[in-house]
Amino acid sequence: EIFNMYVCICHGVSDRTIRQLAQSGKASSLRELREQTGAMTSCGKCARCVRDIFQENQTPSPRQYFTLHPMPA
């Protein structure tokens, strides 16, 4: 992907940054993402977009993984 889309203009946070933090597990929750980037902490207009991008790219926790992929009986 060549282009970045700024999602949070107030703090200059791009969709690429959100995807990288979510996929790498460096931000395992929206709270951690908010603390690391500042996104969603000023005007709040980016909140829905930030949440959607984060959730689409989030690395599932072990609990989430096994809920989605139960072990065979």
User: What is this structure's pTM?
Assistant: 0.78
pLDDT, position 59 = 77
Closest listed residue to residue 8, CA positions, set 36, 66, 29, 25: 36
Angle made by CA atoms 30, 33, 39, in degrees to the nearest 5: 100
pLDDT, position 64 = 59
Look up residue 50 and give its amino acid.
V
pLDDT, position 68 = 62
pLDDT digits (tens, 9 = 90+) for 3-55: 889 999 999 999 999 999 999 999 999 999 999 999 999 999 999 999 999 99
pLDDT, position 42 = 97
pLDDT, position 62 = 63
**Dihedral sign from CA coordinates of 6, 52, 28, 24:** negative
Closest listed residue to residue 46, CA positions, set 7, 5, 4, 6: 7
